[in-house]
Structures are given as structure tokens and as C-alpha cells.
Amino acid sequence: MAKVYAPNKQYIGICANVVFRDGVGETSDPHLIEWFKSKGYTVEEEPKQAAKRKPAPAKKTKKEG
């Protein structure tokens, strides 16, 4: 999710389907992120995280008697 900062720090409203409060909105839509950048908004994107996989559970072996 990226934070979008409006040029007007006090803006409260909706722009391009993004809700802004005190000049800050959030979106994960790459098209909107680029649109906001092209219109002079500051966009702070979260670093992309590598897909995290949970390790497979250890296999239990039968104890031989």
C-alpha cells in the first residue's frame, strides 16, 4: 500500500477514488500511483517484500523398537 500526500496538507475528501484525510490517502493501484505522481502528489511506496514461505513441518519418523 502506498501513501499519497496531497499538495494541500489540509485536504479532506476523495480524489480518484482515494480517500484523503489531512492531505494523506492510501492506494495499492499502480495506475493511480503513477497518476498521482504525474499530478504533483508525493507518493511514498512500501518496499516490495519477497514472498515469504513458511517452512514445511518436519517429518516425523517412526522409532524402531
Q: State how many domains the chain has.
A: 1
Residues β-bridged to residue 10: none
Mean of the per-residue pLDDT values of the chain: 88
Confidence grade of residue 18 (pLDDT, cut at 50, 70, 90): very high
Is 57 inside a domain boundary? no
Confidence grade of residue 48 (pLDDT, cut at 50, 70, 90): confident
Stated pTM of the model: 0.71
Is 28 inside a domain boundary? yes
Confidence grade of residue 27 (pLDDT, cut at 50, 70, 90): very high
Answer whether residue 49 shows pLDDT above 90: no
In the prediction, which pLDDT does 54 show? 66
> Strand, helix or coil at 36?
helix
Single-letter code of the amino acid located at 58: A
Is 25 inside a domain boundary? yes
Cα angle 30-26-18, degrees, rounded to a multiple of 5: 85
Domain span at residue 33? Answer: 2-44
